Amino acid sequence: MESIGDLDLKSAEHSIPLDVLSDLLSRFIINVPDAAKQNNIRICFQIELAYWYYLDFYVNNDNNKLRSCNFKEFAAHVFQHLPFLQGQAGRLNEILDEWREYKQSVPTYGAILLSEGNSHVLLVQSYWAKSSWGFPKGKVNEDEDPAHCAIREVYEETGFDISSYINPEHYLEAVINEQLVRLYVITGISRDTTFRPRTRYEIKACQWFPIADLPNNKKDMTPKVKMGVSANSFFMVLPFVKRIKAISSCKPKRQRNKSSSFSEGESTNKNNKAIAAVVMTVVEPPVKTTDTKSNSFTTTDTTTTTTTVASSNGESKRKVQSKRQLFCAQDEYVFSAPSWLNFKFDKAAIMECIP
């Protein structure tokens, strides 16, 4: 357990001017309801807000340049300064551990921004991360709608408003370290878009990455060879890579212009519907499987197969056969592969081989 003397030592190593600390505490902590002051988890969230404000407006500020510190050092100043927290200063480590554990249980929402043609994905790099890349996302506020949280977080971290692009039903989910992460899929973003994070000292860079070059696993050397970035730099992206690649590869087929009235806008609308269908298939695939040869999503039936048979009058008939059925009333058996269309079973030869 951390003692008061340890906290005094931390304050000696790093100091915050009293007027600055008082300003931060009055903005974020002192005026919270009394009931909230009894909740250490809630207070830690408020201390975090004060900490980010301190970094944004006091650290590396040309007019009032102060030295940076880590969150634990900042929390030590707060616990020493506020009377209602001084009695718990010796439990600082324990309180922070409880707070971090709670944070892991709070869902995070964000977005996967795909370029036009679904060839690239936008990733962001934290101000404090040396080489890690991830999606723009963040923790949901109390009583906040998931889609609204995603819009807010993406705007804060990239400066781009996705409110006119987002479809609340189009998202990918993963549980990472016991924490739910939901990312809404946003398509058709121009790679010429300028991204300007709205919060200082939180997001250091926004960059497009080729989807084909993202790693499929931690040992994949593709990003190292193609981009000079190790697979470990994408550890927060890995749980979504295969599904993003599935979306990228399932591009809608080109439509033949049936008349001169077929407009580009109609074509774009059809493409968007096709992409939306792929996203829904990837998100909720209870009975869907991927056809790796055609890069399309199809529904498979475990008991029957359906083939199309051309009749003598030129009409197409749908014929359903059991997978376990060997013979039927006809001598010819139609398979889906064209190379098998003229194949015939020799019933007599087969029956002779059966004892």
Asked whether the predicted pLDDT for residue 4 surpasses 60, the reply is no
Q: What is d(CA 217, CA 247) in angstroms, rounded to the nearest whole number?
A: 18
Q: How confident is the model at residue 272 (pLDDT cuts 50, 70, 90)?
A: low
Give the list of residues 6+ apart from residue 126 with CB closer than 8 angstroms, or none. Answer: 132, 134, 202, 203, 204
Nearest Cα to Cα of residue 109 among 185, 15, 165: 185
First vs last Cα of the chain: how many Å apart? 82
pLDDT at position 338: 47
More confident residue, 253 or 68: 68
Kindly state whether residue 218 falls inside one of the protein's structural domains. Answer: yes
pLDDT at position 13: 55
pLDDT at position 265: 47
**115 and 243 co-located in one domain:** yes
The pLDDT mean for the chain works out to 75
pLDDT at position 93: 95
Asked whether the predicted pLDDT for residue 156 surpasses 80, the reply is yes
Range(s) of the domain holding residue 308? 304-353
Asked whether the predicted pLDDT for residue 295 surpasses 90, the reply is no
Kindly state whether residue 323 falls inside one of the protein's structural domains. Answer: yes
pLDDT at position 61: 66
pLDDT at position 160: 97
Q: What is d(CA 211, CA 241) in angstroms, rounded to the nearest whole number?
A: 8
We report the CATH number of the domain holding residue 159 as: 3.90.79.10
User: For the ranges 33-42, 58-67, 128-137, 240-249, which has the lowest average pLDDT?
Assistant: 58-67
What single DSSP character describes residue 163?
Answer: T
More confident residue, 321 or 161: 161
pLDDT at position 6: 53
**155 and 197 co-located in one domain:** yes
Residue 120 in 3-state DSSP?
strand
Kindly state whether residue 340 falls inside one of the protein's structural domains. Answer: yes
Asked whether the predicted pLDDT for residue 257 surpasses 70, the reply is no
**114 and 96 co-located in one domain:** no
187-237 per-position pLDDT tens digit: 999 999 999 998 877 788 999 999 999 999 988 999 999 999 888 889 889
The domain tally of the chain equals 3
Kindly state whether residue 295 falls inside one of the protein's structural domains. Answer: no
Burial level of 130, CB count in 10 A (0-12/13-18/19+)?
A: exposed
With a pLDDT cut of 90, the percent of the chain lying above it is 43
User: For the ranges 28-42, 44-58, 169-183, 278-292, which has the lowest average pLDDT?
Assistant: 278-292
pLDDT at position 251: 60
- Report phi then psi at 168, rounded to 5: -60, -15
Cβ atoms of residues 181 and 175 within 8 Å: yes
**97 and 168 co-located in one domain:** no
pLDDT at position 292: 39
Q: What is d(CA 128, CA 55) in angstroms, rounded to the nearest whole number?
A: 12
pLDDT at position 232: 85
Q: How many residues does the chain have?
A: 355
pLDDT at position 254: 47
Kindly state whether residue 256 falls inside one of the protein's structural domains. Answer: no
Q: Among 78, 103, 128, which residue terminates a domain?
A: 103
**93 and 110 co-located in one domain:** no
Q: How confident is the model at residue 239 (pLDDT cuts 50, 70, 90)?
A: very high
Q: How confident is the model at residue 14 (pLDDT cuts 50, 70, 90)?
A: low
Q: Among 211, 231, 249, which residue terminates a domain?
A: 249
More confident residue, 279 or 43: 43
Asked whether the predicted pLDDT for residue 280 surpasses 90, the reply is no
**112 and 242 co-located in one domain:** yes
pLDDT at position 336: 42
pLDDT at position 311: 42
44-93 per-position pLDDT tens digit: 989 988 888 888 778 866 666 788 888 999 999 999 999 999 999 999 99
Asked whether the predicted pLDDT for residue 298 surpasses 60, the reply is no
